[in-house]
């Protein structure tokens, strides 16, 4: 039996309902707002990585508190992106329709393509630093960890950047047409 042929479980129905709630729709109603949410998420992710690496490698306790301060806004930004994509990457395949499955496959494939080039760039950068005489032993872990996090989040970021606007409701379209007709007469 294929995964997508199994009926949705209670968990699937709850997650579908959560991912399709529209209360936060104003936060991602336009493409500019979605891009802002993704860029904010990227910045918060970068700051979180820097704080974590600084707390681990630099042994600074204040960086841990900085990371904890970043966590809540990062979670909110993640929720905004998941809401904009209607849980495209969070829902199981059985909860997605054919169009969403194709979109998920497209986003994941594009994310892996981008991440491949990022890995190449990181490899070349660390290798060039080694050839320039920099001690690369101290660079390997931070670079690998950062690239891993970006690899993990790239599908979410690309989905948030490429999701289209919600279709206009027929009633809203009729109201807009009536308003235009009224303005012209």
Distances (CA, A) of 142 to 49, 59, 62, 115: 9, 14, 19, 16
Share of the chain above pLDDT 70, in %: 89
User: Which are the contacts of 49, defined by CB distance < 8 A and separation ≥ 6?
Assistant: 145, 146, 149
The pTM (predicted TM-score) of the whole model is 0.80
pLDDT band of residue 1 (cuts 50, 70, 90) is very low
* Cα separation, 41 vs 81, whole angstroms: 9
Q: What is the pLDDT of residues 87-121, one digit of tens each?
A: 899 989 889 889 999 999 999 999 999 999 999 99
Distance CA 160, CA 5 (A): 27
**Sequence-ordered list of residues with C-beta below 8 angstroms from that of 17, at least 6 positions apart, any chain:** none
CB neighbour class for 18 (10 Å; exposed up to 12, middle 13-18, buried from 19): middle
Tens digits of per-residue pLDDT, 11-61?
889 888 888 888 888 889 899 999 999 999 999 999 999 998 888 888 788
CA distance 20 to 34: 16
DSSP 94-152: GGS-HHHHHHHHHHHHHHHHHHHHHHHHHHHHHHHHHHTT--THHHHHHHHHHHHHHHH
């Amino acid at each position: 039996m294929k995964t997508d042929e199994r009926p949705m479980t209670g968990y699937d129905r709850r997650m579908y309902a959560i991912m399709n709630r529209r209360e936060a729709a104003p936060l991602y109603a336009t493409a500019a707002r979605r891009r802002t949410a993704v860029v904010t998420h990227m910045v918060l992710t970068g700051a979180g990585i820097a704080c974590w690496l600084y707390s681990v490698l630099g042994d600074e306790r204040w960086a841990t508190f900085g990371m904890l301060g970043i966590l809540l806004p990062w979670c909110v930004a993640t929720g905004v992106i998941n809401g904009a994509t209607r849980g495209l990457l969070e829902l199981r395949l059985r909860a997605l329709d054919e169009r969403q499955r194709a979109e998920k496959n497209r986003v994941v494939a594009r994310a892996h393509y981008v991440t491949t080039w990022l890995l190449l760039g990181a490899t070349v950068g660390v290798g060039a630093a080694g050839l320039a005489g920099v001690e690369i032993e101290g660079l390997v872990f931070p670079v690998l960890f950062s690239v891993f996090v970006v690899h993990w989040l790239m599908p979410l970021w690309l989905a948030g950047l490429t999701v289209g606007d919600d279709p206009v409701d027929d009633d809203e379209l009729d109201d807009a047409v009536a308003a235009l007709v009224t303005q012209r007469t």
